[in-house]
Amino acid sequence: AQSVTQLGSHVSVSEGALVLLRCNYSSSVPPYLFWYVQYPNQGLQLLLKYTTGATLVKGINGFEAEFKKSETSFHLTKPSAHMSDAAEYFCAVSDRGAAGNKLTFGGGTRVLVKP
Amino acid sequence: DTAVSQTPKYLVTQMGNDKSIKCEQNLGHDTMYWYKQDSKKFLKIMFSYNNKELIINETVPNRFSPKSPDKAHLNLHINSLELGDSAVYFCASSQTLDSTPQYFGPGTRLTVL
């Protein structure tokens, strides 16, 4: 069975500071990995994904994440936080080849951006 | 235009009642999903449909019955509601069965009293 652990349910950063959200996964097969963002009163939106190839993937709004197989991690970063980055972020893993693309999610990390 | 929409946003009801949640996507996607988010914020897949055909049914009680009248709609009907059904239910869609859901709906918060 797959699982995802997000370290820290809440993260507070100052505007302009680095955003780092941690995600570790467990999977018996090479995984597909995803980050989703949920802005207040909205649904989740795909931020970026890793499937194969380059381990550093870039997403929307200046976010990027690096797949590190040896550490079973897929941490999300953004060099400089904006007020508009305040949201909840979810890491997810998918079983490769599973019918219907079944996602297993972490518990989310809420990001607060201080002016 | 909202890509994936759900109604209602909030649903408060008594134990034993039957209720439905509706979902619509205007993206022309083939595949739709229902996910349940528990009190610890973990989302777990319940069902997926591809072109109105049931693909995934994850150990969900028979009281939950999805219905897809066309590929743009996936509704969730719940019979004999129980306290443990209280959760946020999210609908999502993806272009095909093998592609990643890009958008989820805003969620329906169901509270069973």
Of A34, A42, A92, the CB nearest to B106: A42
CA distance to partner chain B, nearest, from residue A104 (Å): 6
A23 SS3 class: strand
| Residue range A6-22: mean pLDDT, rounded | 96
- Residue A31 has a pLDDT of 85
The CA angle B62-B63-B68, to the nearest 5 degrees, is 85
- Which is higher by pLDDT, B17 or B98? B17
pLDDT one-digit tens code per residue, B34-86: 999 988 888 999 999 988 888 888 878 999 999 999 999 999 999 999 999 99
Band of the pLDDT at A106, cuts 50, 70, 90?
Answer: very high
- Contact map slice: B 20-79 vs A, CB within 8 A: 31, 33, 35, 40-45, 48, 50, 55-56, 58
Beta strand pairing call for A109-114 and A19-26: unpaired
pLDDT one-digit tens code per residue, B10-28: 999 999 999 999 999 999 9
Proportion of chain B above pLDDT 90, given as a percent: 70
CA distance to partner chain B, nearest, from residue A46 (Å): 5
Proportion of chain A above pLDDT 70, given as a percent: 95
pLDDT one-digit tens code per residue, A52-95: 889 999 999 999 999 999 999 999 999 999 999 999 999 999 87
- Residue A98 has a pLDDT of 56
Lowest-pLDDT range of A33-37, B1-5, B40-44: B1-5
pLDDT at B98 over 70: yes
Where do the DSSP E strands lie in A1-115?
Answer: 3-7, 10-14, 19-26, 32-38, 44-50, 56-58, 64-68, 73-78, 87-94, 103-105, 109-114
CB pair distance less than 8 Å for A43 and B107: yes
